[in-house]
Amino acid sequence: MAVSRALRRFWRTYSTVSSERLRFCIVGSGPAGFYTADKILKAHKRAEVDIVDRLPTPFGLVRSGVAPDHPDTKIVTNQFSRVVQNGRCSFIGNVSIGISISLAELRELYDVVVLSYGAESDQALGIAGEELAGIYAAREFVWWYNGHPDCRNLAPDLKSSDTAVIIGQGNVALDVARILLRPTSELATTDIASHALAALEESSIRKVYLVGRRGAAQAAFTAKELREVLGIKDLFIEIQQADLSKTPADEEELKSNRIKRRIHELLSKAATSAASVCSPGKKELHFVFFRKPDRFLESDCRSGHVAGLRLERTILKDAGSGRQIAVGTGLFDEMECGLVLKSVGYKSRPVDGLPFDLHKGIVPNVQGRVLSEASGDALVEKGLYACGWLKRGPTGIIATNLYCAEETVASILEDIQRGLVTSSSGLSKPGRDGLLQLLDSRNVKIVPFGGWEKIDSEEKRRGSLKNKPREKLTSWQELLEVAAK
């Protein structure tokens, strides 16, 4: 409903805000940033938009988060490229807010600053042993196999154990499980990073456990992702029939949610058709419901390394409004493993000068307008907006950012109409020219879109030699050197 209202405001404003030149800076070049830029450029005929990113490569999680065996999802980058090739738009990479330039300085340079830099940190479980070697955030693992330069040297140990545990039962958890279990001959023709492919080819991981606090009726993944992992050839699937039984509360929950109903059907079918005994040589995927991690266990023979975890059994209790939450029973099981991937949520990071709700992990906002405080009589920060995960939390698919951007842009256009964006002095902001001059004075080597195109071309050239769509450059040094050629 809120999105529909935002859309109506957006189109009502479309023809009335194009007379004044305004300079916009969007921090973050993922889907939320590009969708925001696209909507601004279409709605305001004299808008100049600069998309700033700390990486030398654009597209955010489309490049570093989407699984390598999902090439169709990455086609959206063609649309984003057309946006930045607009004469009124530019991409400025290798610029880190809070390091290369402060938020306060950006607000001085631009009429409007939109923050859409996503979530580059992780939720912690907060349990004993979480610091042990062999335990990683799923985000780190995803960045590693996708060639993100920050995780090029992650080097997860895939040889010392045959068992991995993934904590969480969302789409990212399924992506990670699929990469660990899928034949590497199939991954070899994707854009997976070469260092990851080489490690997976030598991997000893044969068993993967997907652990969730709640039941099959509450699993958070989508049907498409589930079908993919269930369809891996020669994979043994284990789902306990008892975990698929439905309480009256489950029945009510499934009745009102078609997606969750379909998920339960797929899991039930997989449990029914699965062989009762795993034949030798097969890889295994075990769905473990009604368990929550209590503590990680240290190896006796490898000091400082994880050897397993203790799980507390859970039951579901009514939390009102049709929701059921998992609560511990005081009964525990132990599970051996040598690799743990925590897929319990991404988390955004604050920057100096930015109001931030540490509890929710988002910027306090109303329809994208940044508020000075998380609660109380908060004032709207003039000319400062948020979009994407930083605005709403790490939820949704790529297309969700389109609706999120439409709402934020509708708020911006409304504020322009009301005269709440332009400077009271009447002086125009320096925008791109001022930004480039300041960065140059600090010896910041920016990467323009032309630099990215050189990276893109080189990656595709190298990929063609290996029958891959691209061979990603995965180090900061190499990325910057190729961009500067």
Q: In 321-435, which ranges are E strands?
A: 323-336, 339-342, 346-347, 365-366, 369-371, 380-386
Residue 398 annotated as lining a ligand binding site: yes
Concatenate the DSSP letters of all residues of 99-128 into one string: TTB-HHHHHHH-SEEEE-----EE-----B
Residue 23 annotated as lining a ligand binding site: no
Residue 261 annotated as lining a ligand binding site: no
Residue 473 annotated as lining a ligand binding site: no
> Nearest to residue 341, comparing CAs of 122, 153, 184, 159?
122
CB 93 within 8 A of CB 23: no
Q: Token pair for residue 328?
A: 């511990």
Number of neighbours of residue 287 by Cβ within 10 angstroms: 23
Give the strand order in the sheet containing 306-320.
291-298, 306-320, 323-336
Helices marked H in 232-323 = 241-244, 248-255, 258-273
Chain centre to alpha carbon of residue 408: 19
387 CB-near residues (< 8 Å, 6+ apart)? 32, 33, 35, 36, 114, 115, 116, 368, 401, 404, 405, 408
Burial class (CB in 10 A: 0-12, 13-18, 19+), 188: middle
Residue 214 annotated as lining a ligand binding site: yes
Residue 397 annotated as lining a ligand binding site: yes
Concatenate the DSSP letters of all residues of 162-197 into one string: SEEEEE--SHHHHHHHHHHHS-HHHHTTTT--HHHH
Query: Residue 328: phi, psi to the nearest 5?
Result: -70, 150
Radius of gyration over alpha carbons of the chain, in Å? 24
Residue 197 annotated as lining a ligand binding site: no
Q: CA 219, CA 215: separation in Å to the nearest integer?
A: 7
Residue 225 annotated as lining a ligand binding site: yes
DSSP designation for 63: H
Strand-pair partners of 91: 51
Residue 199 annotated as lining a ligand binding site: no
Q: CA 390, CA 348: separation in Å to the nearest integer?
A: 6
Residue 389 annotated as lining a ligand binding site: yes
Concatenate the DSSP letters of all residues of 418-461 into one string: TT-SS-TT-PPP-HHHHHHHHHHHTT---EEHHHHHHHHHHHHH
Q: Token pair for residue 394?
A: 């790490």
Residue 171 annotated as lining a ligand binding site: yes
Residue 396 annotated as lining a ligand binding site: yes
What residue numbers does the annotated binding site for NADP(+) cover? 169-172, 213-214, 225, 396
What residue numbers does the annotated binding site for FAD cover? 32, 61, 97, 389, 396-398
What residue numbers does the annotated binding site cover? 32, 61, 97, 169-172, 213-214, 225, 389, 396-398
